[in-house]
Every structure is written in C-alpha cells, then in structure tokens.
Amino acid sequence: MAATSYGGLFTFLATSSFVFIDVLGHSKTGYGLLMLSMSTVYISGTFVCRWLIPRLGVRRTVALAAALTLTGGTLAGVLGWLGVHTTWAIMGPFYLFILAHGVHQPCGQSGAVSPFPQAAGAASALAGFVMMVTAFGMGLWLGQRMAAGGASGVYPLTNGLWFWAMMIALVAWTLVQRHGEVRAPVQGAIAPARR
C-alpha cells in the first residue's frame, strides 16, 4: 500500500514543476503556492485517517480512501485525454488523490511494521526500500516520457497518476481487505526450543 501510494506522490513531485511552469505557464511562486495547497490537503488527509480508523477500522478506511484515489486519478487521466489541460483539471483531481494519500501512507507504513514488533526497524527499512525501488522505476518511465521537455505536455503527470490510482485501488480492495487488520502475535509462538 505504502509503495503504490508513494508512487503516485513521486509522479506528481517529479513532473509537476515541468507541467505547471513549462506547459501551463505558471510562475515559480504560483507553482510554490500550488505545492503549499497540495501539502495542506495531504496533512488534512492524515487527520481524516486518524478520525476514520476508530470508526471504520483499517480495511474500510483504506477502501474508502481508495475510492477517492481512483476517482481523482481517473479524472486526471480522462481530462488529460480529453484535452482539458488546465491547472484545475489537474489540481482538482489531485486534491482527491493527495487527500487519500494522507490515509494510505500512514496505514501502509503501520501495516508494514506493526506485524513485526520484534523487527520493526528491519520492516520499516524494507518498506522504505520497496518505496525507493518503486520511485526509481517510475523515474525511469518518466524520464523517457519527459525527454522532449514541454512537448510531452501534461500526459506523464496525468497518465502516471491514473496508473498509480488503479494500482492503489487494486491493493486496497484486495490485499488490504485480506490482510489489513493488525493482529497481535500469539504469545509464546516464537519461544525458543527447550532441551
């Protein structure tokens, strides 16, 4: 979950300056304000996550957030394909995506670590490694698509978000539903052998 959600965030962070400044003509200050607004929505998503989990549980919270993610990613992708290349045709859908990222990222991180309390550091490191491999792979794809500079338009951003939205929804509605609730380890399950 954390890796797919981070893949979407990485896509936005890697492409948005080129799209908003070079393609859509924003000033650097205007772009900075868009990033500030995005960060504010993400932080709001973490508060939404904290509010939803006690009421719905992890599985339903992540499933609900995945619906927002898929809606936002699909809107960004479809609007891009329809030729609607405006700031709000990207940012409006991305606000849905990044609000849900505020749910997916903490749930994904805790889900990667909490089943392994005795090896939390290793579990966290492995989760971070998987996220960085995901970012590396996406960076390679984006580098090929954006090699022409502004000629690639908004498509690396919008198509990338759409792809990650589908991956997030797939993970949230399958793997998280199957393995999403944290269970306490069985007492004595890892007891040393006696002689």
Q: What is the pLDDT of residues 19-35, one digit of tens each?
A: 999 999 999 999 999 99
Q: Which residues of 130-148 are buried (b: 16+ CB within 10 A; e: fewer)?
A: ebeebbeebeeebeeebee
Check whether 117 has a pLDDT greater than 60.
yes
Q: What is the DSSP string of the chain?
A: -HHHHHHHHHHHHHHHHIIIIIIS---HHHHHHHHHHHHHHHHHHHHHHHHHHHHHHHHHHHHHHHHHHHHHHHHHHHHHHTT--SHHHHHHHHHHHHHHHHHHHHHHHHHHHTT-GGGHHHHHHHHHHHHHHHHHHHHHHHHHHTTTGGGGTTHHHHHHHHHHHHHHHHHHHTHHHHH-S--PPPTTTTPPPP-
- The domain locations on the chain are 2-179
- Binned at pLDDT 50, 70 and 90, residue 45 comes out as very high
The 3-state secondary structure of 117-164 reads HHHHHHHHHHHHHHHHHHHHHHHHHHHHHCCCHHHHCCHHHHHHHHHH
Q: What is the pLDDT of residues 51-75, one digit of tens each?
A: 999 999 999 999 999 999 999 999 9
CATH top-level class of 2-179: mainly alpha
114/183: higher pLDDT: 114
| Mean pLDDT within 150-154 | 80
User: Under a CB-based contact definition with an 8 Å cutoff, are residues 19 and 90 in contact?
Assistant: yes
145/51: higher pLDDT: 51
